[in-house]
Amino acid sequence: MQILGKLSKILKESKNDYEAYCNYNNTQTLKVNERICFKGDAGSENQLVQGDNIEYMKYLLETGMKGKLHLIYIDPPFFSKNDYKVNIKKKSDKVQSIPVMEQFVYKDTWKEGMEDYLKMLCSRLFFMKDLLSETGSIFVHLDRHCVHYIKVLMDEIFGRDRFINEIIWSYKSGGVSKRSFARKHDNILFYSKSKDYFFNCLKEKSYNRGFKPYRFKGVNEYQDENGWYTLVGMKDVWHLDMVGRTSGERVGYATQKPEALLERIISACSKEGDICADFFGGSGTLASVATRLNRKWLVCDTGKIACMITHKRMVQKDVAYDVCTIGSHKEIETFIKLDVKITADRKLHISFNQYGYMNYEETPASSRYHSVLKSLTDEDSLKLIEYWSIDMNYNGDEFIPSWISCRESEEVLTNIFLDYSGQKHAAIRVLDIFGIETFVKIDLGSDG
């Protein structure tokens, strides 16, 4: 049977899965691993969560967030039948000829084919509908592979009359086929929760014919370096550049979306202070733009690397947020060797000496990279560290860093002096190139 004939079955089974999961009483606990605070903030509603988005959405529903999200944007897998990776590149004066280490960030291959993929996304759309406010909207970012099937399913879940637009994002990118027109666009489905959805009509330039002034009565005209234009309501075809190799936005994530794209969506369908969410968070573009536009945000991704990249991207902004995990996670045993001293002039001196893995087979790296990781561990292990932070007042409960360092190029600070005022305990949190977390408690002595 073709997929079209299976859509009603997919919809029914997805709804059954959603209802069964809602009725399952073993809700996962959200664990806050790190609380980023600025300007004396005691906490934040912004959350970066690593884990299964269905577990996170169920947690949100059961903690009073039903009908509270004003905007949801998701960029799920496209059913491209590809697996996506990041290239980990390291240079070292001590370890020669380090190869580019390919690390998979998410799989877009499905054992049961299209039916399996559609059920995955469809069951999650039921949760998203529950989380949306009555004035809220959802944008689902897809492409030619399955947008038509998802459109049919969303018509059933949200209602055909709640379909607002199919936005075409047109871009320039790499190669072209000699057997088809160049495929250079994505499709973004825009639905509302109700007829009372919030929408701020954005404007764009519409150039006059011949770029000359019309001088029509009552029509405002403007001029730029190209010629004369008017401002009109934005159309549903958006010509925006991708995140290129030389872009200042680029964070090295395989399917990173441009901030200009999210800026249009967030500006059109939310107000300052509204809560925006992305449950397939990727590189954190929604969080980055929502911060700049003074919105609150919730971002979830199952991948450790995706969350590490987003954390590095966000920690450099003046924004408070919680870094969390939900559900069970495989623990990978690491080791850290530190020198910790209190100097004569009352400074806390912390120096990293070595970082590594107790068992290379447990790392997510392919076996062909194990010898490289071992060489780096033995000779230049600090190259493995992407981020670390220190809580100088660790109370055994909340980890709130008072000092942070994240790698922006080839160097990360690993030898520091901090003001010391008699604290008894401190703690360090480390993230490595795979997003693996290591947490270390430090006893500074009973006398401070």
The string over 5-14, giving b where at least 16 C-beta atoms fall within 10 Å of a residue's C-beta and e elsewhere, is ebbeebbebb
Strands 296-301 and 47-50: parallel
Tokens of 148: 């038509």
- What is the torsional sign of CA 412, 415, 417, 422? positive
CB-based contacts of 20, cutoff 8 Å, min separation 6: none
The verdict on pTM exceeding 0.75 is yes
pLDDT, residue 350, reads: 92
- Domain 334-443: which topology? Immunoglobulin-like (2.60.40)
> Cα separation of 84 and 89, whole Å?
16
CB 37, CB 320: distance < 8 Å: yes
Q: Are 184 and 240 a contacting pair, CB within 8 Å? A: no
Q: Where are the domains of the chain?
A: 3-198+236-326, 200-230, 334-443
Name residue, tokens 């109700």. Answer: 194
Instruction: Look at residues 226, 299, 397 and name the one whose alpha carbon lies nearest to residue 57.
Output: 299
Q: Do domains 3-198+236-326 and 334-443 have the same CATH topology?
A: no
Residues in the chain, total: 448
- Output the CA–CA distances (angstroms, integers) from residue 109 to 7, 47, 126, 259, 301, in the order listed: 20, 28, 23, 27, 17
pLDDT digits (tens, 9 = 90+) for 185-195: 999 999 999 99
Could you list the mean pLDDT of each consecutive 10-residue stretch along the chain, which spans 448 residues? 88 95 85 84 82 96 96 93 86 90 85 91 98 98 95 97 98 84 95 98 96 93 96 96 86 90 98 97 96 97 95 92 91 93 91 93 92 94 94 91 83 86 92 95 72
CATH superfamily, domain 3-198+236-326, is Vaccinia Virus protein VP39 (3.40.50.150)
* Helical spans, DSSP H, in 132-258: 147-158
pLDDT digits (tens, 9 = 90+) for 146-159: 999 999 999 999 99
Sheet holding 347-357, edge to edge: 334-342, 347-357, 415-419
